[in-house]
């Protein structure tokens, strides 16, 4: 697979939306010369000496536009930039970075995410949806509370339009009203492991989840060559 050379450019905010209790979706206009593969990232130059790497949630077919989601709960310089960002604001970015992309094999894909680690998968599904490709994909997504859920309708649309795609939420700290899956997302994957053995596994989220999921998959005799990961801290 050929990866485009990273370019540094100016990105201009064209929209900002709060899509959950602590997550913003920000869309930028960018030069039409930029290209990336679904799953890749961009670096934001927030301030002198302060950089943040963000997964791209938009699809590569959206020329001249790029989108990210940002969990601002850490409250650092990057979070403050996103919270205060207004339409027309500009920021320097570097695109594309990373190699966390779907392989070209016919193997079923298992996507495991926590929080905003779902962003690259959203990009992947948008691209597949645009291309009309039907490949076997199961998304396991771990969050803490009901208020953390976003993109539910969007993933339901992917599920409706692609018979080979399914997704589920797992909440680690739900209210008593939650009637869905409870606990940690790693446990849900291992629970289904016998039906997933021929799959490739993609892990994106916090370090604890990624490390634990890798260890549990290896313990379950999943070859390390079929495990791909991306970290968020």
d(C-alpha 72, C-alpha 87), whole Å = 18
User: What pTM was computed for the model?
Assistant: 0.96
Q: What φ, ψ does residue 90 adopt, rounded to 5°?
A: -120, 160
Q: What is the pLDDT of residue 124?
A: 96
30's CB contacts (< 8 A; 6+ apart) are: 9, 10, 11, 12, 64, 65, 66, 93, 95
Q: What is the pLDDT of residue 200?
A: 98
8 Å CB contact between 147 and 119 = no
Q: What φ, ψ does residue 145 adopt, rounded to 5°?
A: -120, 165
- Whether residue 2 is predicted with pLDDT greater than 90 in this model: the reply is no
In degrees, rounded to 5, the angle at the alpha carbon of residue 139 between the alpha carbons of residues 136 and 141 is: 175
- Whether residue 231 is predicted with pLDDT greater than 90 in this model: the reply is no
Average pLDDT over residues 177-202: 97
Residue-wise pLDDT for 134-143, tens only, equals 899 999 999 9
Average pLDDT over residues 51-64: 95
Average pLDDT over residues 116-133: 93
Q: What is the DSSP string of 49-74?
A: TEEEEEEB-S-TTSTTEEEEEEE-TT
Average pLDDT over residues 43-49: 95
Q: What is the pLDDT of residue 148?
A: 97
d(C-alpha 68, C-alpha 28), whole Å = 9
- Whether residue 46 is predicted with pLDDT greater than 80 in this model: the reply is yes
pLDDT band at residue 233 under the 50/70/90 scheme: low
Q: What is the pLDDT of residue 134?
A: 85
Q: What does the chain come to in residues?
A: 233
């Amino acid at each position: 697979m050929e990866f485009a050379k990273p370019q540094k450019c100016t990105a201009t905010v064209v929209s900002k939306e709060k899509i959950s209790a602590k997550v913003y979706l920000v869309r930028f206009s960018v030069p039409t010369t930029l290209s990336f593969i679904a799953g890749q990232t961009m670096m934001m130059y927030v301030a002198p000496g302060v950089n943040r790497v963000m997964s791209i949630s938009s699809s590569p077919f959206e020329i001249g536009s790029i989108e990210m989601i940002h969990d601002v709960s850490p409250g650092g310089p990057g979070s403050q930039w996103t919270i205060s960002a207004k339409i027309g604001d500009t920021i320097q970015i570097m695109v594309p970075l990373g190699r966390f992309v779907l392989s070209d094999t016919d193997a079923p894909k298992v996507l495991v995410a926590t929080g905003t680690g779902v962003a690259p998968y959203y990009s992947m599904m948008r691209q597949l949806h645009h291309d009309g490709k039907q490949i076997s994909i199961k998304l396991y997504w771990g969050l803490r509370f009901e208020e953390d859920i976003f993109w539910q309708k969007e993933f339901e649309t992917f599920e409706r339009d692609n018979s080979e795609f399914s997704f589920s939420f797992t909440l680690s700290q739900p209210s008593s009203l939650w009637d869905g899956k409870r606990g940690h997302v790693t446990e849900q994957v291992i629970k289904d492991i016998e039906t997933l053995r021929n799959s490739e596994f993609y892990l994106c989220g916090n370090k604890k989840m990624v490390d634990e999921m890798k260890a549990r998959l290896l313990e379950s005799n999943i070859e390390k060559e079929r495990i791909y990961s991306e970290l968020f801290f």
